[in-house]
Amino acid sequence: MVIDRKWTSKKKRALEVLLRLKRLYPDATCSLDYTTPVQLLVATILSAQCTDERVNKVTPALFARFPDARSMAYADILDIEELVRSTGFYHNKAKNIQGACLKIVEEFDGEVPQIMEQLLTLPGVARKTANVVSAHAYGNIQGVTVDTHVKRLTNLIGLTKHQDPIKIEQDLMKFLPQADWENFSIMTIYHGRAICNARKPNCPDCELADLCPSAHQPPKTKAQASVRK
């Protein structure tokens, strides 16, 4: 699809995408359930390669048993593993959760740090998790959260050509106002779930189609698919 010339500038296109997403998803917010920064941190670690819906089914029992960083830090790790088993990769997730909580207790007086550089020292925490916790637990927007939906949609729309989440984040931070960095991520995730599904994107009903070079492209023929393989 050929993009209208007025949207050829990536920054103009990014700002128009942001505007339309705000109209489409005015109430979009973090879909993980939590009451404290450490609970949000734990829920975000659990959300790796797992749906937020599944995480929200697991965390009530987890947080009832271990409500704070101290109780998680000194728990029997087998108990944590059993409670988070259904989120997948539970051995590694339990290890990271306990390691992060132990560091929070021993180095940050039991409080999840707010500074990005400190957040990134916690086991299991990369920029995606750090951005979520910083923005939603503390209202401190330090970057753009790049999950699989954000990565996929921003590539399709042509706002970035990168696959590395850090480079994608750097591109988006150049185009978008800082106050909207986290909102953009959340609304893009909503749009990825509702319309631009990875398996079956609904281009005809997409409000961003005229901004998206990937929209309305004809499906590949069997011959093309076999050549690609």
Please say whether the beta carbons of 40 and 200 come within 8 A.
Answer: no
| SS3 annotation, 113-157 | CCCHHHHCCCCCCCHHHHHHHHHHHHCCCCCCCCCHHHHHHHHHH
Find the catalytic residue in 103, 147, 171, 180: 147
Three-class SS state of 194: helix
Of 128, 151, 171, 180, which one is the catalytic site residue?
A: 128
Specify whether 147 is catalytic. Answer: yes
CA–CA separation, 213 and 6 (whole Å): 14
Is residue 128 among the annotated active site residues? yes
User: C-alpha distances in angstroms, 32 versus 59, 72, 186?
Assistant: 9, 19, 11
Amino acid at 21: L
- Catalytic residue ranges: 128, 147
